[in-house]
C-alpha cells in the first residue's frame, strides 16, 4: 500500500501545484505555495499576503495574513500584526489570544510561546496546564518533552502536564517505538517509558532505533550500531562518517572520510 499523499504537490519553484501526472493543477501562479493537507487546503502567497487555497487554486477566504502554515487536526498556524494564532478553514481565528509563536497541532494539543514562556493549548485554545516551560515540543503517543525554566533540564510530560516519570535529562527526545534518546552528564543513551536507562554505555551521539538497531558514535571515535540492550552488533570501518557530516549524498549513507 502506498503512503503517498493523495494531494497535488508543489512545483520545483514552489509557485504552483502539480498533479500526479506532472501537469499543473490550476492556471494561477503564486509567489510561494506549501503542501496540501486535510481538509484539502494549502498555504499560498498571492502577493497581497498569505492565505489558503483550494485544489483549484482559488482562495478559501478573503483575509490575508503575514504567514500561514498547513492544516493539522483542522487548525493552521497563522501570524498577523498582533501575533500568532490558529485559524480554521474559513480563515477565522479559533481563539482570541495571540502568541509570540505557535506550532502545529499534534494529537489535539499545540505548543505555543507567550511572553512568559512555552506551554501547550488544546484545540479550543485553552491552556492544557498552568506550568510555564523554557521550551516544549509536540506530543507523540501522548508524551511531549518539556524543558524546565527552573533548572534547564528536560522531562517527559503527559497531556495534562504531569510527569510521565521522575527522571530529568540535559537533553531529551520523544519516544520512538518504545524508546527515547536521552543525554545526561556522561553522554547520550536510550531510555524506556519508565525513564530507566536501557544500557550502561554512553555515546557522543545516537539515533532512534530503526527496526531494533540504532547507530551511535562512541567516545573512542568509532561508529557502531547497537541493539536495545546496548550490545554492539556492527562496527563501521575506521575513518568513516555519514554523508550528512560532509554535506554530501543521502542522509544516513556512509561514505569514507577523505583527507
Q: Is residue 248 part of a domain?
A: no
Residue 48 vs residues 30, 35, 51, 88, 97: alpha-carbon distances, Å:
10, 19, 9, 20, 24
**Adjacency order of strands within the sheet including 232-235:** 205-206, 214-217, 223-226, 232-235
10 within some domain: yes
C-beta separation of 167 from 179 below 8 A: no
159, 178, 250 from 112: Cα distances, Å:
14, 26, 33
Residue range(s) defining the domain that contains residue 82: 1-98
> How would you write the chain as a 3-class SS string?
CCCCCCCCEECCCCCCEECCCCCECCCCCCCEECCCECCCEEEEECCCCEEEECCCCCECCCCCECEEEEEECCEEEEEECCEEEEECCCCCECCCCCECEECCCECCEEEEECCCCEEEEECCCCECCCCCEEEECCCECCEEEEEECCCCCEEEECCCCCECCCCCECEECCCECCEEEEEECCEEEEECCCCCECCCCCECEECCCECCEEEEECCCCCEEEECCCCCEEEECCCCEEEHHHHCCCCCCCEEECCC
Confidence at residue 251, expressed as pLDDT on a 0 to 100 scale: 37
Mean pLDDT by 10-residue block, N- to C-terminus, for the chain (259 residues)?
76 97 97 97 97 98 98 97 98 97 97 98 96 98 97 97 98 97 98 98 97 96 95 83 40 34
User: What is the phi/psi pair of residue 244, to 5°?
Assistant: -65, -25
- Overall number of domains in the chain: 1
Q: What is the pLDDT of residue 244?
A: 40
Q: What is the pTM for the complete model shown?
A: 0.86
Q: Which long-range contacts (CB under 8 A, 24 or more apart) does 86-89 make?
A: 86/110, 86/125, 89/39, 89/41, 89/52, 89/60
Please tell me the number of Cα atoms within 13 Å of 52 on its side-chain side. 27
Residue 196 domain-assigned?
no
CB atoms within 10 A of CB 27: 8
Q: Within a domain: residue 147?
A: no
pLDDT for residue 239: 60
Q: Is residue 91 part of a domain?
A: yes
Residue 206 in any domain: the answer is no
Q: What is the pLDDT of residue 240?
A: 56
Torsion sign over Cα 19, 23, 25, 28: positive
In a domain, 130, yes or no: no
Gap between the Cα atoms of 26 and 36, Å rounded: 14
- Structural domain contains residue 205: no
CATH number for 30 = 2.40.128.630
Amino acid at each position: 500500500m502506498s503512503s503517498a499523499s493523495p494531494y497535488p504537490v508543489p512545483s520545483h519553484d514552489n509557485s504552483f501545484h502539480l498533479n500526479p501526472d506532472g501537469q499543473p493543477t490550476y492556471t494561477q501562479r503564486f509567489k510561494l505555495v506549501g503542501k496540501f493537507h486535510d481538509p484539502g487546503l494549502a498555504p499560498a502567497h498571492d502577493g497581497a499576503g498569505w492565505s489558503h487555497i483550494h485544489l483549484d487554486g482559488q482562495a478559501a477566504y478573503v483575509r490575508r495574513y503575514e504567514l500561514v502554515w498547513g492544516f493539522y487536526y483542522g487548525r493552521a498556524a497563522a501570524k498577523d500584526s498582533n501575533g500568532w494564532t490558529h485559524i480554521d478553514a474559513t480563515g477565522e481565528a479559533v481563539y482570541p489570544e495571540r502568541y509570540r509563536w505557535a506550532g502545529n497541532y499534534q494529537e489535539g494539543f499545540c505548543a505555543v510561546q507567550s511572553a512568559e514562556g512555552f506551554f501547550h493549548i488544546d484545540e479550543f485554545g485553552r491552556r492544557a496546564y498552568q506550568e510555564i516551560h523554557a521550551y516544549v515540543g509536540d506530543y507523540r503517543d501522548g508524551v511531549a518533552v518539556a524543558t524546565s525554566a527552573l533548572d534547564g533540564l528536560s522531562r517527559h510530560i503527559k497531556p495534562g502536564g504531569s510527569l510521565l516519570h521522575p527522571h530529568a535529562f540535559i537533553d531529551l527526545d520523544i519516544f520512538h517505538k518504545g524508546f527515547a534518546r536521552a543525554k545526561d552528564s556522561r553522554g547520550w543513551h536510550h531510555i524506556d517509558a519508565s525513564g530507566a536507562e536501557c544500557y550502561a554505555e554512553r555515546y557522543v551521539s545516537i539515533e532512534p532505533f530503526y527496526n531494533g538497531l540504532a547507530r551511535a558514535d562512541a567516545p573512542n571515535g568509532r561508529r557502531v550500531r547497537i541493539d536495545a540492550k546496548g550490545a554492539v552488533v556492527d562496527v563501521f570501518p575506521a575513518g568513516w562518517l555519514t554523508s550528512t557530516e560532509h554535506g554530501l549524498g543521502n542522509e544516513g549513507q556512509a561514505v569514507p572520510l577523505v583527507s
